[in-house]
């Protein structure tokens, strides 16, 4: 929940960095350490806006209805621990038609909704993963059992920091 208008919330979302989310940054460092050790992932720049990092890493902005909602999409072998092989797409059409059976697509919706109290907004993040084959679904289910608690913690921290920054800058 944020005590700020929707435009301020989305400004904060696109400004928040890993430095603002120390626990998320630390968990990400642990999560991606194996890939960094073998040269498959660069070190994270904690000062860089988090959304900018996602977009430069292959996440597409599929829908931009700011200040109400954004929807992102990405694809890779998300079930892999060391190298998730993110796919970089030239455009939305390439993303939509991508169907490699050893991959998953990840969709995220970040939106604001009124709570019913003037000046107060719910900040909602939902995500869904679509495996592109039964084999990929099975691999992802095993991975998700392990990663889900960390993902939930990072999501909560992101939402709290966005709300705090929006309230402060409003």
Secondary structure (3-state) at 77? coil
Phi and psi (nearest 5°) for 136? -65, -35
pLDDT at residue 45 in the model: 79
Q: What is the pLDDT of residues 121-153, one digit of tens each?
A: 999 999 999 999 999 999 999 999 988 988 898
pLDDT at residue 134 in the model: 98
Secondary structure (3-state) at 23? helix
> How high is the mean pLDDT of the chain?
91
Q: What is the pLDDT of residues 51-75, one digit of tens each?
A: 998 898 889 999 999 999 999 999 9
pLDDT at residue 85 in the model: 87
Is the pLDDT confidence value at 170 over 90?
no
Is the pLDDT confidence value at 105 over 90?
yes
Structure-token pair, residue 38: 């073998």
Q: Note the maximum CA span of the chain.
A: 51
> What is the rounded CA–CA span in Å between residue 114 and residue 99?
37
Residues 6+ apart with CB under 8 A from 91: none
E runs forming strands in the chain: 60-65, 69-76, 104-114, 121-131
> What is the rounded CA–CA span in Å between residue 63 and residue 72?
7
> What is the rounded CA–CA span in Å between residue 90 and residue 162?
29
More confident residue, 153 or 82: 153
**20 DSSP 8-state letter:** G
Its pTM stands at: 0.88
pLDDT at residue 35 in the model: 75
């Amino acid at each position: 929940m944020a005590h700020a208008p929707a435009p301020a919330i989305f400004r904060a979302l696109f400004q928040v960095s890993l430095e603002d989310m120390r626990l998320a940054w630390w968990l990400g460092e642990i999560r991606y350490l194996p890939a960094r050790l073998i040269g498959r992932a660069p070190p994270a720049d904690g000062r860089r806006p988090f959304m900018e990092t996602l977009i430069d890493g292959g996440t597409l902005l599929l829908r931009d209805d700011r200040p109400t909602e954004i929807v992102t999409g990405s694809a890779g072998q998300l079930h892999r621990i060391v190298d998730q092989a993110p796919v970089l797409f030239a455009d939305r059409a390439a993303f939509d038609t991508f169907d490699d059976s050893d991959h998953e697509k990840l969709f995220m919706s970040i939106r604001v909704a009124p709570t019913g109290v003037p000046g107060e907004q719910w900040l909602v993040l939902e995500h869904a993963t679509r495996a592109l084959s039964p084999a990929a679904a099975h691999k992802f289910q095993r991975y998700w059992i392990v990663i889900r608690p960390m993902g939930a913690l990072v999501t909560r921290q992101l939402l709290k920091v966005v709300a705090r920054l929006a309230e402060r800058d409003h």
